Amino acid sequence: MDETIAGADGPTDIPPMRPEMIEEAPPLPLKTAADDSIVALFTRLVDDAETFVRAEIRLYRANVFSRLSEARTAIIMLLTSFLIAQSAIIALLVGLVVILRPAFGAVGATATVVIGGVSVAGLLAWLAINKIRQLTDIKGKPPKGDRP
């Protein structure tokens, strides 16, 4: 039973509140004549602001933990799929060794597959490093040759 509230960025899903997330607010003090002074009013304002901030922090914390618990299953599935894909790649490489063995012999087929695998891994690492450098490069800085 999800509630949806339309915000500035569109609908926002709010997870349902569990009883352990809800804390009762402290009772409001009764107003007396002495509470009308500026100092008392300002003190009450600060106390109310502190109570409000603490309540907001509890709300955001509850939302974060709720989202993390919902995402846990998805993260586990993603890691499992990664491990299965890695197993499939290993099986493919073993199959390549078996296929190339009649032509190159056992040692030659193994060396060929290892060199090919390391080459592909090196190429992917080089491309990833260049992409990361490109993404983290500061825009608008002078080229290397123009520095004093």
Q: What is the pLDDT of residue 17?
A: 58
CA–CA gap between residue 65 and residue 68 (Å, rounded): 5
Q: What is the pLDDT of residue 70?
A: 82
Q: What is the pLDDT of residue 88?
A: 96
Cα–Cα distances (Å) from 15 to 4, 18, 20, 44, 104, in that order, read 9, 9, 14, 32, 61
The predicted model scores a pTM of 0.47
Cα–Cα distances (Å) from 44 to 36, 47, 135, 137, in that order, read 10, 5, 49, 50
Q: Which residues pair with 14 in a beta bridge?
A: 3
Q: What is the pLDDT of residue 2?
A: 47
Q: In sequence order, which residues have a C-beta less than 8 Å from that of residue 13 and are 6 or more positions away?
A: 2, 3, 4
**Series of mean pLDDT values for 10-residue runs along the chain (148 residues):** 48 58 62 70 90 94 88 90 96 95 94 94 95 86 62
* Strand, helix or coil for residue 17: coil
Q: What is the pLDDT of residue 146?
A: 57
